[in-house]
């Protein structure tokens, strides 16, 4: 794996191949929602995508995606009739599970999204497996 570090360069490239600055063109809100749901953006936004997936804080952004996708379900369960304690526990479980799964799978999904947009993966599939 990558050791949990937020790397700004792609493996095998020099320091001149760092992630673009924050001045990269951002997609519109609808494009960002589409991207959040797993869609592929046009190549015009490659600099923004590269910064999102390789820049500082990439792991937190990747982990936030499942959490954000879990929010509508948490709201629905919070509004269902029943005891407040049961509803609160269900909502808490959904949000904690979403965050935990997000952090546990962030490296895998970052690689998948990098390849989806035509970038080389940050680490190979063999690095992602545990050696026994």
Provide the whole-model pTM: 0.63
Crossing angle of helices 29-36/58-79, nearest 10°? Answer: 90
Residue 22 backbone dihedrals phi, psi, to 5 degrees: -70, -5
Task: Enumerate the domain spans of the chain.
Answer: 15-128
Helices and strands, number each (H, E), in the chain: 5, 0
Model pLDDT, residue 120: 87
Residue 124 backbone dihedrals phi, psi, to 5 degrees: -75, 165
Q: Which two tokens stand for residue 124?
A: 């190979």
Looking at every residue in the chain, the average pLDDT score rounds to 80
User: pLDDT tens digit string along 117-130?
Assistant: 888 888 755 554 54
User: pLDDT tens digit string along 67-120?
Assistant: 888 999 999 999 999 999 999 999 999 999 999 999 998 888 899 999 988 888
Burial of 127 (0-12, 13-18, 19+ CB in 10 A): middle
């Amino acid at each position: 794996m990558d050791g949990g570090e937020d790397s700004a360069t792609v493996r095998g490239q020099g320091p001149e191949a760092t992630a673009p600055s924050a001045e990269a063109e951002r997609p519109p809100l609808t494009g960002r929602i589409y991207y959040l749901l797993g869609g592929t953006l046009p190549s015009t936004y490659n600099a923004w995508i590269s910064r999102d997936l390789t820049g500082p804080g990439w792991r937190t952004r990747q982990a936030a995606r499942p959490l954000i996708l879990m929010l509508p379900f948490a709201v629905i369960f919070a509004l269902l009739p029943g005891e407040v304690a049961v509803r609160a526990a269900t909502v808490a479980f959904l949000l904690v599970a979403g965050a935990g799964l997000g952090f546990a799978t962030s490296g895998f999904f970052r690689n998948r999204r990098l390849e989806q947009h035509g970038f080389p993966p940050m680490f190979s599939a063999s690095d992602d497996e545990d050696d026994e």
